[in-house]
Chain A
């Protein structure tokens, strides 16, 4: 790996080490910073500006109170995130664990949103404390969900991702209904390093020093975590407490950074990962080099951005930019990381009862779906309150409710089918089409169109969405071809693509463009824009695909048994995976165009179907499809009625309901 990187550099005989990379970056950073400082202030005044600025000279004031604190805080924040990343990756034994993937950042953001709306007095007491409390609570939720499994690494990461998605959905709902009040928080959420006094630095520095001292004290016990659970336990280490303590420390560091400069993506993930790739194998080495690299990466990016964005009317927040730059790097890293892909699955399939007569389950589900459809079509409110069926209601039913109900049912089915496929292919009950990244990829394309094409209409949106879904699929296939479509790698690629979508959204939101309303509405998964033709098409393809999917059931029954067993039974494993992934991508793209990138249905429906006892692939597919339709129809209907006349998009509604249920089941896993 190390050689590979070295060979791709201009001097193939020089082996790249963490130290060399840091020196290179430091030189680049110093050059950039020196240049930027020189354009601002004559070099003769630098010393004066640093220590005792002439209060009458605005250039010196700017340097002293804005440029220098910003430069210092970018170093501090980058370093802090590097430490947090090392700790998390060490504890979770997962090279892709990071502060932002464990719900801390979203928890902090949600807490600030809630405080702004409902308890503004708290903000006067201190924004950082609100953020720390929110981040801590979110992490606590993740811990609570993973507690029963002794905070096993895989479960913690999954719980973190789910909590992230869920809190993100709650935040999106709040932003949708209170866009004007929350516009300031959008800037913070995108991670701006801009400073106007030394307060931020003085807040962060002592906390970091304490955290660093604690981390140093924990070096020896932490190194034991590199062993597996059984070995570590035999050495007499209380794994649970050790993990709790070190994760808690990492959360504290992250929350401090988040509260001062907002959400800075990617640094906490990339710095430790790169350092490890370059040969820093032991924990002390990584704890030394990762913060250095993190600090240099963030500062260099910020210096570059200050050059670029000075002339633009839009603000490009540094935090979102590092995240956007990080995603491609992550995609590049994934095929090169040792992830232990051949290890047996650590997350077991759910031990669920198996029904003798799956037909009865299907019938009951079908009946429930019919009831939900009838309610969604006939029951609703108008200006005067709840309205009984009458002529005007019939008209509303035909005109407005039918397309939305059909589309919801269709999209729910498609997502459920996609979810069933991916859960069976990866043998992981926590996988879902959202995680494969097609939803995120489609969303990126649509954001681009809405932002750069004026007066965009629905047909254009549909075309753009389809094209970007296909492009995402291409990226997925390209990156995973070399690894033979190993399940974990496919999921990781998906997460990376989704990670690219988030910063784009943040940048758009941070600039407070009033067009974001429309974007937000679509991103939160609404059936609003569906017309009858599209609705019928989606519903019909859902029915046809549910039936067609039955022909894949042999693969789906055999693949979860493991590669060798499946191969022995005559399945061409690689080809089967490729075909199934293609089907998943298409199903997800179609559903995303209708209900947006956000929904838990693809995760939830197959999971519930399994809990209800549909074990064989054929029964599993059918039950999941019915459940998916049922959930989405209910979500759509509830979303339309709850806050009438304002509508909560179906995707958000299903995330809110489904996410809660999902966390509950995760807790009992």
Chain B
């Protein structure tokens, strides 16, 4: 019985060796095809991860985990320091094949060029449609890591997913225009309008954005709570995280309590999503929003019942 077992064990170990070899060669080939990328921009980092590429270095990894969250940044990714001032000695030591930056860090380009070819990927460009830019930026990033097909699948599946979500939405969910806000403190919010990621996703979902006023470079307006009061129809969508203490203060804020959406008790609260993100953030926001919309009418109806 034993020799038998041994022979089988031997065969198995040979198989394992062969398998390991194949894997090694395959991964080597794959590695040769996938350049090692470092980036200072979180949106580029999340897009890379969504394309199945782990960057070698990302700026402020701890803050990425806190503010972008998903896709999860593996532990082996090196922290290369502040986004505006990545540590060049460390970058040089990591010797990436390419460094990706966004236009907002363009002052870094000349000096980063000395470490590795540095390319700029623009997502937020004034005067262009954000969704078109997002698709283009995703493809640009994919081209740098030889993942063009993966980008096509990613975008196609995102498009299909959004269409599916859109069709799944009831008329009741679409009835009210939405007002997507993020709280800065108890008196001020960012309202996301034209040229923001949230707005682009809402358009794709066939949802109306109640905020039609002019927005800044990043697609939001910074306003006091009173600016939200005129929009009677709008349903408020609050994107977490709430700053500490704001919820308590809103309890006693007369204006907040009198906002039509709060009075109707149809305010939606969504888990945090990186508000300046790319395709992965868009997908998560869409999921969060539609899920909240699906759950909301029931609760709203439930609460309105005694009134009526």
A interface residues with partner B (beta carbon < 8 Å)? 55, 58, 61-62, 64-67, 116, 120, 123-124, 127, 176-177, 180, 183-185, 187-188, 192, 194-199, 311-315, 380, 382-383, 392, 395-396, 399-401, 454-458, 461, 510-515, 517-518, 520-521, 526, 528-529, 531, 644-647, 649
- Beyond the given A196-B226, A518-B105, please list 19 additional residue pairs across the A-B interface where CB-CB is below 8 A: A66-B226, A124-B248, A177-B82, A180-B63, A199-B253, A311-B213, A396-B93, A399-B92, A400-B89, A400-B92, A401-B89, A455-B103, A457-B109, A517-B84, A529-B107, A531-B110, A645-B78, A646-B87, A647-B85
Q: Is A520 a contact partner of B254 (Cβ separation < 8 A)?
A: no
Give chain A residues whose Cβ lies under 8 Å from the Cβ of B85.
521, 526, 528, 647, 649
- CA–CA, A123 to B220, complex, Å? 27
> Is B244 part of the contact surface with A, judged by Cβ < 8 Å?
yes
The one of A183, A510, A514 in contact with B104, judged by C-beta atoms closer than 8 angstroms, is A514
> Is B208 part of the contact surface with A, judged by Cβ < 8 Å?
no
Which of B63, B93, B244 has most A Cβ within 10 Å?
Answer: B244
> Is B190 part of the contact surface with A, judged by Cβ < 8 Å?
yes
Give chain A residues whose Cβ lies under 8 Å from the Cβ of B220.
313
Residue of B nearest to A178 (CB): B63
Give chain B residues whose Cβ lies under 8 Å from the Cβ of A647.
81-82, 85, 87
B interface residues with partner A (beta carbon < 8 Å)? 60, 63, 66-67, 78-85, 87-90, 92-94, 103-107, 109-111, 114, 126, 183-188, 190, 213-218, 220-226, 229-230, 232, 243-245, 248, 252-256, 258, 260, 276
Give chain B residues whose Cβ lies under 8 Å from the Cβ of A510.
222
Q: Is B224 a contact partner of A383 (Cβ separation < 8 A)?
A: no
Residue of B nearest to A315 (CB): B222
Q: Is B81 a contact partner of A646 (Cβ separation < 8 A)?
A: yes
Q: Is B82 a contact partner of A521 (Cβ separation < 8 A)?
A: yes
- CA–CA, A644 to B109, complex, Å? 22
Q: Is B252 a contact partner of A199 (Cβ separation < 8 A)?
A: yes
Q: Is A514 a contact partner of B276 (Cβ separation < 8 A)?
A: yes
Closest chain A CB from B33 CB (angstroms): 25
Which of A124, A396, A646 has most B Cβ within 10 Å?
Answer: A646
Closest chain B CB from A512 CB (angstroms): 6
- Are A313 and B110 also in contact (CB < 8 A) when A199-B252, A400-B92 are? no
Residue of A nearest to B194 (CB): A313
Closest chain A CB from B294 CB (angstroms): 28
Q: Is A184 a contact partner of B183 (Cβ separation < 8 A)?
A: yes
Which of B111, B187, B256 has most A Cβ within 10 Å?
Answer: B187
Q: Is B184 a contact partner of A197 (Cβ separation < 8 A)?
A: no
Closest chain A CB from B186 CB (angstroms): 8
Residue of B nearest to A461 (CB): B107
Q: Is A66 a contact partner of B229 (Cβ separation < 8 A)?
A: yes
Give chain A residues whose Cβ lies under 8 Å from the Cβ of B92.
395-396, 399-400
Closest chain A CB from B74 CB (angstroms): 16
What are 16 A-B contacts with C-beta separation under 8 Å? A61-B258, A62-B229, A116-B243, A116-B244, A124-B248, A180-B63, A187-B222, A196-B187, A197-B252, A313-B214, A383-B94, A392-B93, A401-B89, A455-B103, A521-B85, A647-B87
Q: Is A458 a contact partner of B87 (Cβ separation < 8 A)?
A: no
Closest chain A CB from B292 CB (angstroms): 23
- CA–CA, A64 to B255, complex, Å? 9
- CA–CA, A313 to B216, complex, Å? 6
Q: Is B107 a contact partner of A396 (Cβ separation < 8 A)?
A: no
Residue of A nearest to B213 (CB): A313
- CA–CA, A392 to B90, complex, Å? 11
Residue of A nearest to B230 (CB): A58
- Are A520 and B84 also in contact (CB < 8 A) when A196-B256, A383-B93 are? yes
Q: Is A454 a contact partner of B103 (Cβ separation < 8 A)?
A: yes
Q: Is B83 a contact partner of A517 (Cβ separation < 8 A)?
A: yes
Give chain B residues whose Cβ lies under 8 Å from the Cβ of A194.
187-188, 224-226
Residue of B nearest to A454 (CB): B103
Closest chain B CB from A108 CB (angstroms): 15
Closest chain A CB from B223 CB (angstroms): 7
Give chain A residues whose Cβ lies under 8 Å from the Cβ of B230.
58, 62
- CA–CA, A458 to B108, complex, Å? 9
Describe B's contact surface by its main secondary structure: mixed
- Are A61 and B229 also in contact (CB < 8 A) when A198-B254, A458-B107, A647-B85 are? yes
- CA–CA, A382 to B57, complex, Å? 14
Residue of A nearest to B224 (CB): A194
- CA–CA, A185 to B110, complex, Å? 34
The one of B82, B89, B256, B260 in contact with A517, judged by C-beta atoms closer than 8 angstroms, is B82
Give chain A residues whose Cβ lies under 8 Å from the Cβ of B215.
313
Residue of B nearest to A396 (CB): B89
Q: Is B216 a contact partner of A646 (Cβ separation < 8 A)?
A: no
- CA–CA, A183 to B66, complex, Å? 15
Closest chain A CB from B13 CB (angstroms): 35
Q: Is B245 a contact partner of A315 (Cβ separation < 8 A)?
A: no
- CA–CA, A183 to B185, complex, Å? 9
Give chain A residues whose Cβ lies under 8 Å from the Cβ of B105.
518
Q: Is A380 a contact partner of B254 (Cβ separation < 8 A)?
A: no
- CA–CA, A66 to B217, complex, Å? 28
Give chain B residues whose Cβ lies under 8 Å from the Cβ of A512.
184, 190, 222
Q: Is B88 a contact partner of A646 (Cβ separation < 8 A)?
A: no
Closest chain A CB from B192 CB (angstroms): 11
Give chain A residues whose Cβ lies under 8 Å from the Cβ of B111.
529, 531
Give chain B residues whose Cβ lies under 8 Å from the Cβ of A184.
183-185, 188, 243
Q: Is A65 a contact partner of B255 (Cβ separation < 8 A)?
A: yes
Closest chain B CB from A198 CB (angstroms): 7
Closest chain A CB from B25 CB (angstroms): 28
Give chain A residues whose Cβ lies under 8 Å from the Cβ of B110.
457-458, 531
Which of B94, B223, B245 has most A Cβ within 10 Å?
Answer: B245
- Are A644 and B185 also in contact (CB < 8 A) when A65-B258, A123-B244, A512-B222 are? no
The one of B188, B221, B229 in contact with A187, judged by C-beta atoms closer than 8 angstroms, is B188
- Are A645 and B79 also in contact (CB < 8 A) when A194-B188, A194-B224, A400-B92 are? yes
Closest chain B CB from A38 CB (angstroms): 16
Q: Is A515 a contact partner of B104 (Cβ separation < 8 A)?
A: yes
Give chain A residues whose Cβ lies under 8 Å from the Cβ of B67.
180
Give chain A residues whose Cβ lies under 8 Å from the Cβ of B254.
61, 64-65, 196-198
- CA–CA, A45 to B138, complex, Å? 55
Give chain B residues whose Cβ lies under 8 Å from the Cβ of A518.
84, 104-105, 107
Q: Is B87 a contact partner of A645 (Cβ separation < 8 A)?
A: yes
4 tightest Cβ-Cβ pairs between the two chains A and B: A196-B255, A194-B224, A120-B244, A645-B87
The one of B93, B109, B245, B253 in contact with A123, judged by C-beta atoms closer than 8 angstroms, is B245
- CA–CA, A58 to B234, complex, Å? 13
Give chain B residues whose Cβ lies under 8 Å from the Cβ of A188.
185
- Are A183 and B184 also in contact (CB < 8 A) when A196-B226, A395-B92 are? yes
Closest chain A CB from B170 CB (angstroms): 27
Give chain A residues whose Cβ lies under 8 Å from the Cβ of B63.
180
Q: Is B187 a contact partner of A313 (Cβ separation < 8 A)?
A: no
- CA–CA, A58 to B254, complex, Å? 12
Give chain A residues whose Cβ lies under 8 Å from the Cβ of B78.
383, 645
Q: Is A311 a contact partner of B253 (Cβ separation < 8 A)?
A: no
- CA–CA, A187 to B187, complex, Å? 9
Which of B93, B186, B188, B190 has most A Cβ within 10 Å?
Answer: B188
- CA–CA, A113 to B184, complex, Å? 14
Give chain A residues whose Cβ lies under 8 Å from the Cβ of B217.
513, 515
- CA–CA, A602 to B164, complex, Å? 64
Q: Is A645 a contact partner of B80 (Cβ separation < 8 A)?
A: yes
Give chain A residues whose Cβ lies under 8 Å from the Cβ of B224.
66, 192, 194, 196, 315
Give chain A residues whose Cβ lies under 8 Å from the Cβ of B258.
55, 58, 61, 65
Give chain A residues whose Cβ lies under 8 Å from the Cβ of B81.
645-647
The one of B80, B103, B183, B253 in contact with A196, judged by C-beta atoms closer than 8 angstroms, is B253
Residue of B nearest to A312 (CB): B214
Residue of B nearest to A119 (CB): B244
Q: Is A457 a contact partner of B106 (Cβ separation < 8 A)?
A: yes
- CA–CA, A239 to B52, complex, Å? 72
Give chain A residues whose Cβ lies under 8 Å from the Cβ of B187.
187, 192, 194-196
Residue of B nearest to A316 (CB): B222
Give chain A residues whose Cβ lies under 8 Å from the Cβ of B83.
517
